[in-house]
Homo-oligomer: A and B are copies of this chain.
Amino acid sequence: MTRETKTIILDAAETLFAEQGFAATSLRAITSRAGVNLAAVNYHFGSKEALIDLVFRRRIIPMNRERLSRLEGLERADDGSEPSLEALITAFVAPPLEMARDAGSGGTVFIRLLGRSYTEPSATMQTAMRAMYEPVIDRFKQAFARALPQVPPVELYWRMHFMVGVLAYMMAGTDMMRLIATSRVADSPDIGELVRRMTDFIAAGMRAGPGSTTPAGGMDRVEA
């Protein structure tokens, strides 16, 4: 029963953090939603900050393990061929989005929280996240460099940023432009189709030839 309570608190905290952010979510709100006593958080976790840390750790670590395992699977193909660019992108992009669909309990809401936290500037969070992400980023950077030998390293660096931006925005699912249809990831009927759309978009962007579109870039301003 002792670990049961911790899990219940984690689930409640995860939901409220995703909805309101960290600072706006009080321990009272968390414990009341979890149906446990106010003192339980400090007993089980020590502090609010430690709770936040565990909320992330619980799901990010398996998620990144899944990304790496997909990547390794691609690189150990039987025929010894190099993985395609699309396969690499999918290996990076699909795990969080499928998590939003699959994880019965709180996976859906966690992905929204994670998408938000990409733009969270708190120093504590930044360093914690970097520690969890660094190995993944390193491995994928090498893989992308092999798949795109014609793209200069600096350009590739920026394009990986762009990829993360697309992913983070979809994960956060805030529907800034919701004027046509559903756009929250969790509501979307077919995650596989979203993954395919994102992969196509990102792959084309990553392959973009240098200079192909340059002339139009800087001269279109109407007035200073």
Contact = CB atoms under 8 A, between A and B. Distances in A.
B170 A169 contact: no
B165 A169 contact: yes
A138 B177 CA distance: 9
Contacts of A134: 179
Nearest to A170: B165
B86 A198 contact: no
Interface stretch (A3-11, A52-60, A209-217): A209-217
Nearest to A168: B169
A91 B172 CA distance: 25
B174 A118 contact: yes
Contacts of A164: 169, 176-177
21 contacts: A83-B220, A86-B217, A87-B220, A90-B220, A118-B174, A118-B176, A121-B174, A133-B177, A153-B180, A157-B180, A157-B181, A159-B197, A162-B166, A165-B166, A165-B168, A169-B169, A199-B213, A199-B216, A200-B205, A200-B210, A200-B214
Interface of A: 18-24, 69-70, 72-74, 83-84, 86-87, 90-91, 94, 112, 115-116, 118-122, 126, 129-130, 133-134, 137-138, 141, 153-155, 157-162, 164-170, 172, 174-177, 179-181, 183, 192, 194-208, 210, 212-214, 216-218, 220-223
